[in-house]
A and B are shown apart, each in its own frame.
Chain A
């Protein structure tokens, strides 16, 4: 029984529930944007202070974030858009999350090779992206 109690929530947490209508889909898209914005804001914070952090730490942090962004993307991607309008919403949020994943991946590659080439520019780009994600989340409150 105890094992069952453990498995049920794990399954619940791991599965993406379907969207019944546009409003529901919008909420899920908003939650995805919020999660991605949180990850991007974290990476921005780390990049701003990268000179004060160790390389193994930064590498682990960026790897975790890249994984988290990939997971957010795939979980939302598993939800079927219920209408044409929802397809447009999906295109917009997918573009943003893909851009976030790409930026973090570039930073991770730089850290793996040596160090972040232009930390100030990277931080500014991340800040702009986080703002766009937050704006999207505000338009689609979860």
Chain B
């Protein structure tokens, strides 16, 4: 019974923690412009993140070390540094976007300008990372993020035209050109496979002291929790396709993105969705900030993690603090957090191979993995995904420039 409870809790946390500002923005925007015609990208992204998160979790459980702790050792300091530079930069941009998203959610709840909330979000996030236990932190915000299920319920309550939505799965209803369509496909893939997710998942496994015995729970989280989280992403797009597309409304703010829940359930729906957005973005703020600390500390071989006292991992905690301050400062320049999110998604997509290639290599290395190396299916899928991610990486920035970031 206790085991069943642990598995269920883990799955629920994975569902609630799956959606972040990138998923919210990309899916709502795509749903309002392209209907359901890009839903296939979410499916591709979810299969990809499941594949690589399982590998990263397995590496953590078998070797007792997170993947990126092994990158420098396995690939050498230069390749490790390239990996670190790319992932840390994107992580910082994502952290800024998440802080902005949490502040925007507070603005929607209170009517007070989001810029006034930004320092408070940064401060509380830092305090939580400093004081709250890893497992508590992960569970509380993951479970609170489940409030976003309101998007799924709202979709049915809005009385959608199922035939039309089904038709959109294979027919793009937009007049926008192919370049714009593919630009958003890339952004959507970047949202589903954001690099910090595997940093956090892998390092989190070590924080929670996973062993081989935890492989079953880890796989349940990945193979059940993540796809259900992906379903929430599709529900966000479906709500936008139902409410905004027929009225030719293109959404580009968080306030607009949550409107379908308000239309479906009034003030209760609105309160729930704003709460869910706050929980999702604040939870992701913690995850991205921690991922910054993890990646830097693991590369330089510093003591890291929340399983030791802060004074024993001083440089790790200093990195968390500095990253949070830099991200807060970036949003306080008044740059639009939604724009930051859009660019972070494209740069994430451009750096995907740098994040996922080491995962594939280490999960195949018998020196670290013993008898738990990748099977034939994982390797075949992993190789196919690496080819796809390389194509995406090459296309991401040219598509962004050619379409003026999807305009």
**Chain A contact residues, CB within 8 Å of chain B:** 2, 5-6, 8-10, 12-13, 34-35, 37-38, 41-42, 45-46, 49, 52-57, 59-61, 64, 68, 134
Extra contacts besides A35-B250, A42-B251 (9): CB < 8 Å: A5-B347, A8-B401, A13-B407, A45-B247, A49-B262, A53-B270, A57-B255, A57-B274, A64-B253
Main secondary structure of the interface of B (DSSP, over half): helix
Category for how many chain B residues contact A: 35 or more
B256 an interface residue at 8 Å Cβ cutoff?
A: yes
Which chain A residues border B108 with CB–CB below 8 Å? 56-57, 60
With A41-B249, A64-B255 in contact, do A10 and B109 touch (Cβ < 8 Å)? Answer: no
For the complex, give the distance between the alpha carbons of A34 and B397 in Å: 27
What are 16 A-B contacts with C-beta separation under 8 Å? A2-B85, A13-B405, A38-B250, A41-B248, A42-B256, A42-B259, A46-B259, A49-B262, A52-B263, A52-B270, A56-B110, A57-B108, A57-B262, A57-B270, A68-B252, A134-B248
Q: Are B262 and A52 in contact (CB under 8 A)?
A: yes
Q: Are A55 and B111 in contact (CB under 8 A)?
A: yes
With A42-B249, A45-B259, A53-B270 in contact, do A60 and B404 touch (Cβ < 8 Å)? Answer: no
The 10 closest A-B pairs by CB, nearest first: A56-B111, A52-B266, A61-B255, A64-B253, A59-B111, A42-B249, A38-B250, A41-B247, A41-B249, A38-B249
Main secondary structure of the interface of A (DSSP, over half): helix
Q: Are A37 and B259 in contact (CB under 8 A)?
A: no
B166 an interface residue at 8 Å Cβ cutoff?
A: no
Which chain A residues border B383 with CB–CB below 8 Å? none
B67 an interface residue at 8 Å Cβ cutoff?
A: no
Which chain B residues border A35 with CB–CB below 8 Å? 250
B196 an interface residue at 8 Å Cβ cutoff?
A: no
Q: Mark B93-115, 1 if CB is under 8 A from A, else 0.
A: 10000000000000111110000
With CB as the reference atom, state the residue of chain A lying closest to B343. Answer: A6
Which chain A residues border B252 with CB–CB below 8 Å? 68
Which chain B residues border A2 with CB–CB below 8 Å? 85-86, 89, 347
Which chain A residues border B267 with CB–CB below 8 Å? 52-54
Q: Are A9 and B249 in contact (CB under 8 A)?
A: no
